Amino acid sequence: MKEVKWNPRAREFVRSLDEETKREIGTLLMLVQSGLILGEPQSKPMKSIHKNAHELRIKDRKGAYRVIYVLNIGDKILIPHAFTKKTQKTPIKEIELSVKRLQELLNEN
């Protein structure tokens, strides 16, 4: 099983969500850790962030959430960003923040 390395702010965001949403995120991340490649609607590639970046897509009665994860970085899965999705298209500021935080995670390795 691959190790997951979180940006601390992304982890805080996920921990702030309700129990059912956290459980769904945890279940999907465990599938990714075990090597399963998720497709839509649970996950979608995010090439604008990194060639191996994807977004987990979670929806509950309160809103829609995204957890950005990057595969094939050695034996790790990196999670640079998580946020509430409020618009149809992912805002450029969320993409830029994901890229910035991903670079920070990569520099730590």
pLDDT of residue 61: 84
For the chain, the helix, strand and coil percentages under 3-state DSSP, each to the nearest 5: 35, 35, 30
Total-model pTM: 0.93
pLDDT of residue 109: 64
Q: What are the sequence ranges of the domains in the chain?
A: 3-108
**Tens digits of pLDDT across the chain (109 residues):** 899 999 999 999 999 999 999 999 999 999 999 988 899 999 999 999 999 999 999 998 889 999 999 997 778 999 999 999 998 899 999 999 999 999 999 998 6
Burial class (CB in 10 A: 0-12, 13-18, 19+), 51: exposed
CATH architecture observed for domain 3-108: 2-Layer Sandwich (3.30)
Q: What are phi and psi of 67, to 5 degrees?
A: -125, 115
How many C-beta atoms surround the C-beta of residue 8 within 10 A? Answer: 8
